[in-house]
Amino acid sequence: MQAARGASLTGDTTTGSDPSRRTRARLLLAGVALTAYAVDVVSKVVAVEQLEGRAEPVPVVGEVLQLTLVRNPGAAFGTGTQFTVALSVFAAVAAVVVLVLARRVRSTLWAVGLGALLAGVLGNLTDRLLREPGPMRGHVVDMFLLPNWPVFNVADVCINAAAAVILVQAFRGIRLDGTRESDHRADESEPTA
């Protein structure tokens, strides 16, 4: 319910027009992205330094979680190894899209999801740009090994966590600005004065 000039009579502040919400959400997105990206980069540097040349995986939690070094030229699960350059271009485009969407974010969960997605995309893109065999063709460093699962890295975890958050928000009908889809449909069906 709204009063004159759009003021909410119900105290609902999820309209997304509050500049401080936008600033907080953007700062949260940036904080999540920078922190997760740094963890990914550092974990890959340490993995290369500590795991290079090891024939056997290093147990962390028995056989449930082990560390091993794998250089992946392809996409998830080692697929698409012949498309490394295309994957690099796609990752760069995805990063730009996330940055464009970040301008509209006002929802805390969307900020976390997009921050994690940006970190994951940039983490793997950094490998593709800077690692051997060369720019746009670099192999992504993976190191975490679970039973019956392909080897993965922190960036992969970020991308999957982001996908989960984004799906939850979509199913809940929460937009980037924190408003609900149902609120917009109700507003569109109300006659104007």
pTM of the model: 0.84
**Active-site residue, 12 included:** no
Choose the catalytic residue: 18, 142, 177, 187. 142
- The answer as to whether 87 is a domain residue is yes
Looking at the structure of the chain, the number of domains it has is 1
Choose the catalytic residue: 40, 127, 156, 177. 156
- The answer as to whether 127 is a domain residue is yes
Q: What is the tens place of the pLDDT at every residue in 27-62?
A: 999 999 999 999 999 999 999 999 999 999 999 999
**Active-site residue, 142 included:** yes
- The answer as to whether 168 is a domain residue is yes
Helices 108-130 + 19-51 axis angle, to 10: 40
Q: Residue 121: which domain range?
A: 20-53+60-181
Q: What is the tens place of the pLDDT at every residue in 73-84?
A: 887 767 777 888
- Average pLDDT of the residues of the chain: 88
pLDDT band at 172 (very low <50, low <70, confident <90, very high): very high
- The answer as to whether 174 is a domain residue is yes
Residue 185 in this model has a pLDDT that exceeds 70: no
pLDDT of residue 181: 83
